[in-house]
Structure 1
Amino acid sequence: MSEHPVSPPVAESDLEKTRRYLPWVVAVALFMQQLDGTIVNTAVPTMAESLGVASLALKSVLTSYTIAIAVLIPLSGWLADKFGTKRVFAFAVAVFTLGSLACGLSVNLPMLVASRVLQGIGAAFMMPVGRIALLKTFPKSGILRAMNFVIIPALLGPLLGPLTGGLIVHWLPWRVIFLINIPIGLLGLWLVKKHMPDHRGAVADPLDARGFILFGAGIALLSWVLEIFGEHRMETGWVAGLAAISLGLIGAYFVHARKSANPLLPVDLFRVRTFRVSVVGGFLTRLGISGMPFLLPLLYQLGMGFSPWQAGLLVMPQALAAIGMKLAVQRIMGHFGHKRVLLCNTVLIGLMIAAFSQVGPGTPVWVILIFSILQGSVSALQFTAMNSLAYADTTDEQASDASTVASTGQQLAISFGIAFASLVTAWFLGGIDRTNPAQLVPALHKAYLLLGGVTVASSAMFLTLRRADGDNVSGHGQIKEVVEA
């Protein structure tokens, strides 16, 4: 990828106009993506019944989407440098919209999975390219504020998704949950045409095809192995062999990347300590968090007997709390700094995940709502802290590469988190009746405890941070300096 990204010259008034509307362009696309994800999670039990498969088996509808994103995200920076952020972002929104239409027309599980892959192709480029556009449009001191602005409207997706999905599958065919993306996608295309800047690299480096094949094949194979292992469709020896091959492919990519002049994912970015901690620590933390949207609908609907729309209402407070936290996150980050926030907040997230092991039939609704509010608050703070830390010490020339690597890590964590949550739940279930709440709920409780423990353990990664890390992004320390002055 080019090390000298340039943009067409723009007048100061045009730059101000771009900075005013660009966050909205990115937010609309992210809203559509987040709405789709949360609607699908809520509708999983109903979709499984309609398609005649077990609810845990329907994780392929979720993982196929996230695997497609994880495999293709590494191309986003190269495509943005070569073809420009405007063209690639428009392509991403259009493909995601077409994928949504295909999902709505699906009549069986294989067709739905294939359509979700098409959605994933579009989603793979939306947020990374949108983030590249933000990084190249705003100064570093304004990145946290711009990203915060983007996330707040996008959180309306998780806010509206669970309830909307529940109401749709209660009153309408479940396919409607995908079709509502079409008008949103058309609005997004109009906004891209009007307000998306066309940043691109001065020189487009050749595509690292060998690196793409090694990395993409390794990630796709590893994700598939995790899925079939959870369903015990293959002997352990074969699973272990395929897992070894997938890890070998990923390892071969890292060897290749160190020798390549223009690697697909530049591993030398991990020499930047704050970037390394953000991506690696964020990956470990997201493993636990990412499994919750898949497991909670199973607990509420299959384990506790709530209808889809009631389960959606129980999830909504998470998004409301996240929006509230986003309004206060800049002040929190400025007061405590990245290290203290990430250390303490990661532990809190793990404890909140584990707390859902106490939720079951007979649990008062107000207790569930409190748990949801707390989980939404700490998760929102965590994501903002990890995302902003990644760009604290990277240069403007590294914007495309840093966004691509960070986005790849995030999507891998989401994909593996869903697979890991399903795997451990299936493991705890064993051969028992998965439709019997008396047997399903204890297995889910054990899964929550394990996911919570993994999340708490991931806080150790943030011990390597220094107290001043990320201060140029969060503004931490500046308040004290002003007071002392």
Structure 2
Amino acid sequence: MSLVPKAFIAPMIVACAMFMESVDANVIVTALPEMARAFGRDPVTLKIAVTSYVLGLGVFIPVCGWLADRFGARTVFRTAIGIFVAGSLLCAASTSLFTFTLARFVQGVGGAMMVPVGRIIIFRVVDRSEFVRAMNYLSLPAMLGPAAGPLLGGFITTYLHWRLIFFINIPIGILGIYLTNKHIKNTREPHPGPLDWTGFVLSAGGASLFLLGLSLVGSELASGATATEMTVLGAVMLGLYVLHARRATLPLLDLRFFRVPTFQASVLGGSLFRIGLGAVPFLLPLILQEGLGMSAFKSGLITCASAFGGMFMRTLATTTLRRFGFRTVLMYNAAFSGIAIAACGAFVPGTPTWIIWVVVLLGGFFPALQFTSLNSMTYAQIESRDVGRATSLGSVVQQISLGLGVTIGGIVLQITRSLHGHPAITWSDFWPAFLVVGLCSFASIPVTRRLAHDAGDEIARGSRGPAPAKT
């Protein structure tokens, strides 16, 4: 009999995988300028590599629950870790932006399966009496990953070589597969039912073509006509999915949840907010390195301030929501977040480092409260039996929104540089991009304003919400 309690083993195995995914999502941002030079590309062009990773995460999330039920949670989880590690090795070996983009997509696919299936494992393995304790272990990667990623990426890029960044995942992944085989049972549902393959092809293909097409606009990788054709085809496929979802009995992504007021405000309004925030991890290291001439390591030291701001706000989130309520917090905090994001565009050569650090800190402080509020309110009016399907829809929309933020920020930056006639990006090219993505946070206010004044009050007062999602 193991001396380590089950409530600790399974969550820590899953937490290691989540930490690997969380670090990897943040580790390359400080290395982007150096990677661009290695590939002989403009740094802004690397937005497609960031977008491809988010796409891999987003489009495969809806099928994770079905795969876990069909083949077993342990089988899918360790396969996901293997895919992620393989993607990491491909990233390290990439010699062109094209191969690097494909490798990042492979990593995203692995990450998409690791996190949801890991939660399924915990839901099935851990006793209900120990569930809260188990979930607390999972909160550590979410807090530590965004702080550790920029620091590791900046240090390795400055003092070693950016390719070594991707070797961090290898020992963690191998250990994760070993512990999964040893300690986790291969649980599954007896009859998961058919998967909506038509919906998967339309939604995954449409989202991929649409976002990648937008990412290629104004880049050196494809002609304007090709980028436009991809974007239009993606939009058409997404439109066809909407028609399909209205007729299907069990659609892959059930759009009817958008009729629920709190879900609509959390996912749709929250997605407008996430568009703004999704651009910051891409734009901030660029302005610090390409605009202000900082090293990758110094850039990482500043970028991680956002994560520390988020950690501090999480200690105040519950009290703030109880005092002011969801509707008020979501409206006013969206404005504060937008201002904090837009303020990053005001950095100029000679700006004191401590001022930059404080602005970036606030750029993590206010958005963390917004994320906590949005995530808490998502299921306020969702029945327990529908939480899994609602989670799939919300997760996909959120990931696509983050990718769209990177794309929009990159496009505005390219347009500004072109209007200024600069051969390379400089500090004066960034403020319109930060302004636009900051305004995206303001755009979420009309959606949340339609909420009832008492929306989510039961959750804000500390009552229990619906059961944890399985997908």
TM-score w.r.t. structure 2 length? 0.89
Q: CA deviation at 1:246?
A: 2.0
Matched, 1:449 2:439: no
Q: Which amino acid aligns with 1:379?
A: P
CA gap 1:106/1:95 in 2 versus in 1, 3 angstroms: same
Q: CA deviation at 1:337?
A: 3.0
CA gap 1:135/1:279 in 2 versus in 1, 3 angstroms: farther
Matched, 1:462 2:443: no
Matched with 2:362 is: 374
More displaced, 142-151 or 243-252? Answer: 142-151
More displaced, 130-139 or 61-70? Answer: 130-139
Q: CA deviation at 1:188?
A: 3.1
Q: Which amino acid aligns with 1:359?
A: F
Matched with 1:6 is: none
For residues 163-242 of structure 1, the aligned pairs below 5 Å read 163-193=151-181, 200-201=188-189, 203-231=191-219, 240=228, 242=230
Q: CA deviation at 1:55?
A: 0.6
Q: CA deviation at 1:371?
A: 0.6
Contact 1:18 1:196 in 2 (8 A): no
Matched with 1:290 is: 278
Superimposed CA distance per residue, residues 286-341 of structure 1 (whole angstroms, 9 cap, x where no aligned partner): 00100011111110001001011011111121111212222332333333332222
Superimposed CA distance per residue, residues 373-429 of structure 1 (whole angstroms, 9 cap, x where no aligned partner): 111111222222212222223233223212211211111011111111111111111
Q: CA deviation at 1:106?
A: 2.1
Matched with 1:129 is: 117
Q: Which amino acid aligns with 2:37?
A: E
Correspondent of 2:267 among 251, 260, 279: 279
For residue 350 of structure 2, give the secondary structure of its aligned residue in structure 1.
Answer: coil
Correspondent of 2:327 among 327, 331, 339: 339
Contact 1:96 1:122 in 2 (8 A): yes
Superimposed CA distance per residue, residues 14-51 of structure 1 (whole angstroms, 9 cap, x where no aligned partner): 9x955555543443222211211221000000111112
d(CA) in 2 for partners of 1:435 and 1:321?
35
Q: CA deviation at 1:159?
A: 0.9
Matched with 1:483 is: none
More displaced, 468-477 or 347-356? Answer: 468-477
Superimposed CA distance per residue, residues 184-218 of structure 1 (whole angstroms, 9 cap, x where no aligned partner): 22333345446657664453121111111111221
Matched with 1:355 is: 343
d(CA) in 2 for partners of 1:399 and 1:137?
19
Q: Which amino acid aligns with 1:463?
A: R
* Structure 2 stretches lacking a partner, 5+ long: 465-471
CA gap 1:44/1:430 in 2 versus in 1, 3 angstroms: same
CA gap 1:360/1:231 in 2 versus in 1, 3 angstroms: same
Matched, 1:106 2:98: no
Contact 1:135 1:399 in 2 (8 A): no
Q: What is the Cα-based RMSD across aligned positions, in Å?
A: 3.0
d(CA) in 1 for partners of 2:139 and 2:294?
30
CA gap 1:196/1:360 in 2 versus in 1, 3 angstroms: farther
Matched with 2:469 is: none
Q: CA deviation at 1:134?
A: 5.8
For residue 316 of structure 2, give the secondary structure of its aligned residue in structure 1.
Answer: helix
Matched with 1:318 is: 306
d(CA) in 1 for partners of 2:190 and 2:377?
27
Q: Which amino acid aligns with 1:415?
A: G
For residue 162 of structure 1, give the secondary structure of its aligned residue in structure 2.
Answer: helix
d(CA) in 2 for partners of 1:144 and 1:245?
45
Matched with 2:468 is: none
More displaced, 227-236 or 50-59? Answer: 227-236
CA gap 1:26/1:466 in 2 versus in 1, 3 angstroms: farther
Matched with 2:318 is: 330
d(CA) in 2 for partners of 1:142 and 1:329?
24
Contact 1:48 1:55 in 2 (8 A): yes
Matched, 1:49 2:37: yes
More displaced, 294-303 or 236-245? Answer: 236-245
d(CA) in 2 for partners of 1:466 and 1:60?
39
Q: Which amino acid aligns with 1:60?
A: I
d(CA) in 2 for partners of 1:27 and 1:422?
32
Q: CA deviation at 1:138?
A: 8.7
What fraction of aligned residue pairs are identical, expressed as a percent?
A: 36
Contact 2:29 2:281 in 1 (8 A): yes
Q: Which amino acid aligns with 1:261?
A: T
* Structure 1 stretches lacking a partner, 5+ long: 1-13, 479-485
Q: How many pairs were matched up? A: 463
Contact 2:22 2:141 in 1 (8 A): no
CA gap 1:473/1:188 in 2 versus in 1, 3 angstroms: farther
For residue 466 of structure 1, give the secondary structure of its aligned residue in structure 2.
Answer: coil
Q: CA deviation at 1:348?
A: 1.1
Q: CA deviation at 1:91?
A: 2.1
Matched with 1:62 is: 50
Matched with 2:467 is: none
Contact 2:48 2:216 in 1 (8 A): no
d(CA) in 1 for partners of 2:129 and 2:456?
11
Matched, 1:390 2:378: yes
Contact 1:43 1:169 in 2 (8 A): yes
Matched with 1:473 is: 459
CA gap 1:447/1:108 in 2 versus in 1, 3 angstroms: same
More displaced, 279-288 or 87-96? Answer: 87-96
d(CA) in 1 for partners of 2:317 and 2:305?
18
TM-score w.r.t. structure 1 length? 0.86
